[in-house]
Amino acid sequence: MFSLQVQFIFSLLILTQVSCRLSTDHENRHNWYEKNRLKVKCLQRDDPTGRNAVKLCWFWEGTKSWFRRTSISWFPERTKTWNLTELTAHCNNYYVCMENTKCYKDYVLYETLDRCSHDAFNVGPMSFCNQKLKEIKKSSPEKLSNCTMEYLEEKPPKRWTCESVKRLGDCLYPEVEKYCDSKLLPIFKDHQESRLYYLGCDGRLKFKDFEEPTNSTIPKL
Ligand SMILES: *[C@@H]1O[C@H](CO)[C@@H](O)[C@H](O)[C@H]1NC(C)=O
Ligand SMILES: *[C@@H]1O[C@H](CO)[C@@H](O)[C@H](O)[C@H]1NC(C)=O
Ligand SMILES: *[C@@H]1O[C@H](CO)[C@@H](O)[C@H](O)[C@H]1NC(C)=O
């Protein structure tokens, strides 16, 4: 019975969200043709093949990915036993689809992967830790480091840099160790490591087409 209800709710959700994605979500709606995310060769007028592939990918895989993300955020409890591969499978599927279009700039592909998996991590297993840290902030804020207070108070940046990812990881690690479920620590480490990899910070990836973030998008944290 439970699963039937869930299915029903989810069908409703798909309908509302698909229409929502199409009509109101400004950022999502424009993502597939945001020109600075695509390689120049795919923007030429006479050959729409690449652009069509991008559009399809954005629509189908993007919707599936969004759907998965929503189910994680609704039932984060389930993710407590997952490893990073399981947690971010939808991000990888989206990445593969985008890569196959051969139209996205490399650093954009990886940056998107980072954003998606960081988001899944935060709405999934990390959500319990964030909750805990917020409670501590209310009851005894002096226990938390300044950077953790900032993390809890400020919105995440639009674009991450190697420095901001490192700073946040180093900042939160001791707090996670002290206050959160000990099972979170291994996936926290894996996640941090994969972030540094995706953003080309550990030297394994080199992006020929990398574009420096502009000052307005560089985060403080
Ligand atoms: C993650 O879990 C899945 C399913 O239990 C398993 O098949 C996979 O090998 C695991 N991956 C890693 C990197 O441990
Ligand atoms: C943390 O913030 C408080 C108050 O803003 C300040 O007095 C203190 O020096 C800061 N500590 C560190 C280590 O920056
Ligand atoms: C960004 O800020 C730094 C330091 O404030 C400055 O040196 C640099 O010129 C700025 N870059 C741009 C593109 O505005």
Interval 8-25: pLDDT, tens:
555 655 555 555 454 444
| Residue 185 pLDDT exceeds 90 | yes
Assigned token pair, 140: 């005894």
Q: Which of 215, 216, 218, 220 to mutate to test the pocket of ligand 3 (most atoms within 8 A of CB)?
A: 215
Threshold 0.75, pTM exceeds: yes
Q: What ligand is nearest to the CA atom of residue 187?
A: 1
- What domain range is 101 assigned to? 50-198
| Residue 29 pLDDT exceeds 50 | no
Q: Is residue 116 part of a domain?
A: yes
Q: Is residue 192 part of a domain?
A: yes
Assigned token pair, 137: 């902030």
Q: Is residue 15 part of a domain?
A: no
Q: What ligand is nearest to the CA atom of residue 146?
A: 2
124-153 pLDDT, tens digit each: 999 999 999 999 999 999 999 999 999 999
Neighbouring CB atoms inside 10 A of 109's CB total 20
Q: Is residue 85 part of a domain?
A: yes
Q: Is residue 152 part of a domain?
A: yes
216 Cβ below 6 A of ligand 3: no
Packing angle of the helix pair 162-179, 126-139 (nearest 10 deg): 70
Q: How many domains does the chain have?
A: 1
Q: Is residue 44 part of a domain?
A: no
Residue having the nearest C-alpha atom to atom 9 of ligand 1: 85
